[in-house]
């Protein structure tokens, strides 16, 4: 297993993860090739308004190619509806301007045990098929003397979920952000999710779920992991 901190810090070469296989050979498998969402350098040169207009046009073309009649009253509004949903909602986490602003507070309660925010429901989308990933995130940290509002933990999860994702990256992006804002390595993230690209198509397995985890700092001991699981399963 790769060292999780090395992955977070980007020390692992993404080509190494291909293991000698080509993308074609890997086919339907879900690949994880690094912690940063692969974005173009000019990703945010266009305004949201321009992006929505362009996506609506392109999506109308996809519908047209599939043979759908865009003059039909039921379909007419779909391209712009999809464009707005992409930019304003389900992929809004691509834009750093939408990142939650997090204020740190002094830990005036002197609470120095782990804090667990569990069962954070999120909806994301698989970047290989653009269909939903539905899951729960459990996040935990041990205060380094600073604390953040509980709802911010939720917002950080939602921000990174609102991107085309792979679950491993989602896990690590949430962990890295928590380590940065909380100024501590002592962070854990567990994600338990269902991928609709696995359940509704392809292998059509409706019962499997995928679990990923990140344990940083003090969470790297079996004792802390057990304590965390006790809280989650409580
Ligand atoms: Zn997929």
Same domain, yes or no: 127 and 194: yes
Same domain, yes or no: 73 and 154: no
Same domain, yes or no: 48 and 161: no
Would you name the residues annotated as active-site residues? 126-129, 167, 195, 197
Q: Are strands 164-165 and 114-126 parallel, antiparallel or unpaired?
A: parallel
Among 13-27, 123-137, 154-168, which stretch is predicted with the lowest mean pLDDT?
A: 13-27
Burial class (CB in 10 A: 0-12, 13-18, 19+), 32: middle
pLDDT, tens digit, for every residue of 206-224? Answer: 888 999 999 999 999 999 9
Mean pLDDT over the full length of the chain: 90
**pLDDT over 70 for what percent of the chain?**
86
Q: What pLDDT score was predicted for residue 16? A: 53
Identify the band that residue 175 occupies on the pLDDT scale cut at 50, 70 and 90.
very high
Identify the band that residue 21 occupies on the pLDDT scale cut at 50, 70 and 90.
low
pTM of the shown model: 0.88
**Which of the listed residues 98, 121, 139 is the one where a domain comes to its end?**
98
What CATH number did the domain enclosing 227 receive? 3.30.1130.10
Identify the band that residue 174 occupies on the pLDDT scale cut at 50, 70 and 90.
very high
Same domain, yes or no: 91 and 173: no
- Compute, in angstroms, the gap from residue 59 CA to the centroid of ligand 1: 20
Same domain, yes or no: 114 and 214: yes
Q: Are 125 and 131 in contact (CB under 8 A)?
A: yes
**Which of the listed residues 64, 81, 98 is the one where a domain comes to its end?**
98
- Compute, in angstroms, the gap from residue 12 CA to the centroid of ligand 1: 23
Same domain, yes or no: 58 and 93: yes
Q: Which is higher by pLDDT, 110 or 149?
A: 149
Main-chain dihedrals φ then ψ at residue 110, nearest 5 degrees: 55, 30
Q: What pLDDT score was predicted for residue 17? A: 54
Same domain, yes or no: 144 and 47: no
**pLDDT over 90 for what percent of the chain?**
73
Q: Which is higher by pLDDT, 42 or 2?
A: 42
- Compute, in angstroms, the gap from residue 106 CA to the centroid of ligand 1: 41
Same domain, yes or no: 134 and 224: yes
Is pLDDT at 84 greater than 70 in this prediction?
Answer: yes
Residue 170 to residue 52: CA distance in whole angstroms: 25
- Compute, in angstroms, the gap from residue 24 CA to the centroid of ligand 1: 15
Three state DSSP letters for 133-156: EEEEEEEEEECCCEECCHHHHHHH
Residue 61 to residue 85: CA distance in whole angstroms: 17
Q: What pLDDT score was predicted for residue 125? A: 98
- Compute, in angstroms, the gap from residue 167 CA to the centroid of ligand 1: 10
Is pLDDT at 18 greater than 70 in this prediction?
Answer: no
- Compute, in angstroms, the gap from residue 198 CA to the centroid of ligand 1: 7
Identify the band that residue 1 occupies on the pLDDT scale cut at 50, 70 and 90.
very low
Number of structural domains found in the chain: 2
Same domain, yes or no: 37 and 153: no
Same domain, yes or no: 154 and 61: no
Q: What pLDDT score was predicted for residue 110? A: 77
Task: Provide the 10 A C-beta neighbour count for residue 164.
Answer: 20
Main-chain dihedrals φ then ψ at residue 108, nearest 5 degrees: -75, -15
Residue 105 to residue 4: CA distance in whole angstroms: 28
32: containing domain: 4-98
**Which of the listed residues 64, 98, 132 is the one where a domain comes to its end?**
98
């Amino acid at each position: 297993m790769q060292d999780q901190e090395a992955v977070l810090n980007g020390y692992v070469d993404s080509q190494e993860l291909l293991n000698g296989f080509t993308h074609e050979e890997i086919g339907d498998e879900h690949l994880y090739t690094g912690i940063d969402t692969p974005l173009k350098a000019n990703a945010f040169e266009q305004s949201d308004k321009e992006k929505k207009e362009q996506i609506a046009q392109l999506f109308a073309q996809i519908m047209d190619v599939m043979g759908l009649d865009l003059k039909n009253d039921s379909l007419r509004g779909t391209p712009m509806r999809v464009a707005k949903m992409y930019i304003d909602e389900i992929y809004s986490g691509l834009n750093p301007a939408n990142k939650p602003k997090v204020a740190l507070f002094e830990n005036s309660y002197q609470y120095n045990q782990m804090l667990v925010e569990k069962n954070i429901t999120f909806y994301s989308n698989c970047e290989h098929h653009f269909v939903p990933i539905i899951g729960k995130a459990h996040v935990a940290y041990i205060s380094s003397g600073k604390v953040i509002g509980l709802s911010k933990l939720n917002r950080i999860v939602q921000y990174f979920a609102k991107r085309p994702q792979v679950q491993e990256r989602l896990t690590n992006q949430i962990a890295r952000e928590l380590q940065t804002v909380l100024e501590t390595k002592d962070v854990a993230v567990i994600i338990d999710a269902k991928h609709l690209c696995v359940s509704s198509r392809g292998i059509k397995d409706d019962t499997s779920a995928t679990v990923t985890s990140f344990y940083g700092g003090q969470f790297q001991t079996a004792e802390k992991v057990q304590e965390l699981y006790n809280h989650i399963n409580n």
